[in-house]
Amino acid sequence: MPKKPVNKQPLEPLQLFGSRTMPNRPKKCSPYDAEPAEKVLSWALQTYKVLVDLTKDLHSGVSMIELRQFSRTGEIQIPDWAIPLGASVTPTVTTFKSGFTLNVPLMDTTIYLEYLANRFIKAGGEIHGDVKFEKLEDVGPAFDLVINCAGIGARELVQDIDLEPHRGQVAIVPKIDNLCCAIVCDDPPLMYAIPRTNDCVCGGTNEVSDNLDADPTTTAHILDECSRVLKIENPPVLAERVGLRPFRKPGVRLERDRLRDGRTVIHNYGHGGSGFTLSWGCAEEVFALCGLLG
C-alpha cells in the first residue's frame, strides 16, 4: 500500500491506501516463513522491544503470553536469539517429542489493527481502504514519496515474480477453558492454538495457493488436531479465516528505488508468515531510508 512517509516535525497528512484487511490472524513473535535469516532476526528483535513497550498501553491489544513451541520429530533447538529472552526447555505433552517455552508479545489483531489505525489518524494520516492501483505511478502527484507495502499485491503492482502466496487457514473458536499459553508446532501438520482476549485461534495450514475460500474439510482437520493435542472435545467454530502470506523467495524486499516519473519509492513487502513479527524493525529501516532523502 503506497503511503506518504511519516515526517518528523511538523507532521504532514499521511495516507494509507488498500483494499482489504485481515483482522483475525493470530500473531506470535517468532520469524516464520520469511527470509533472509540474518535480516529477519534483527528486524524481529527490534520489533520485540517495541511490542514489549506497547504492552504497557492497555488499549494496544498487545500483551505478553507464554509461548510453548514443540517439535514432533526430535529434540527441538532453543534458538540462540531466544536464550537471552529467557527461553527454557518445557516438559513435553505426549503428542510431541520436545519443546521450549518463552514469553512473547501477542498482538490480538482484533484490537491491535484498530489501535494502529487510530494512532495513524491521530498523527494526521488518512486511510483510503477502497483504492486499487494498477501501477505505483498512479499514486497522485501530491505525493512526492511512495512507500510500497502491498504484500502479495506487489506481484501485480510491481510485477514481482518472486512473490509466492502461502495460503493459511485458521478457525476461530470460543475461549478454551484453562488454556492460558500459546501452543505451537511448526512441524507438519502445522498446529497452533492461541488464546486471545475474547476467543481462541486454531491453526493452521501453509500451502502455495491463491485460494481465499475457506475449506470446511481443512477446518475439521485443524480442529481435530488441536483437540487431540489439547485433549478437549472439538470446539464449535465461530469463524473460518483464510489469508495469503506474502512469501518472497530471495527475501523481504526493503529498498529504495525510483518510479518511472522520477519519484522515489521505498519497497517494503514480502514478509511471508512474519509481517507482524518484523513490522516495527522494518518500519524503522524504511524511516531511516526516508531520512537519507535529505
Ligand X SMILES: Cc1cc2nc3c(=O)[nH]c(=O)nc-3n(C[C@H](O)[C@H](O)[C@H](O)COP(=O)(O)OP(=O)(O)OC[C@H]3O[C@@H](n4cnc5c(N)ncnc54)[C@H](O)[C@@H]3O)c2cc1C
CB of 69 to ligand X, least distance (A): 12
CB of 252 to ligand X, least distance (A): 9
Interface residues with ligand X (CB under 6 A)? 1, 17-20, 25-28, 131-133, 149-153, 157, 168, 170, 203-204, 243, 245-246, 269, 271-277
Helix (H, G, I), strand (E, B) or coil at 149: coil
Q: Smaller CB distance to ligand X: residue 104 or 290?
A: 104
**CA terminus-to-terminus distance, the chain:** 23
Q: Smaller CB distance to ligand X: residue 150 or 193?
A: 150
The C-alpha atoms of residue 252 and residue 114 are separated, in whole angstroms, by 25
Q: Smaller CB distance to ligand X: residue 44 or 177?
A: 44
Under a CB-based contact definition with an 8 Å cutoff, are residues 40 and 252 in contact? yes
The C-alpha atoms of residue 105 and residue 86 are separated, in whole angstroms, by 13
The C-alpha atoms of residue 294 and residue 290 are separated, in whole angstroms, by 8
Type of residue numbered 81: W
Q: Smaller CB distance to ligand X: residue 10 or 171?
A: 171
Identify the sign of the CA torsion 114, 117, 122, 127.
negative
Q: Smaller CB distance to ligand X: residue 149 or 200?
A: 149
CB of 240 to ligand X, least distance (A): 11
CB of 47 to ligand X, least distance (A): 9
CB of 286 to ligand X, least distance (A): 12
Beta carbons within 10 angstroms of residue 240's beta carbon: 17
Under a CB-based contact definition with an 8 Å cutoff, are residues 269 and 149 in contact? yes
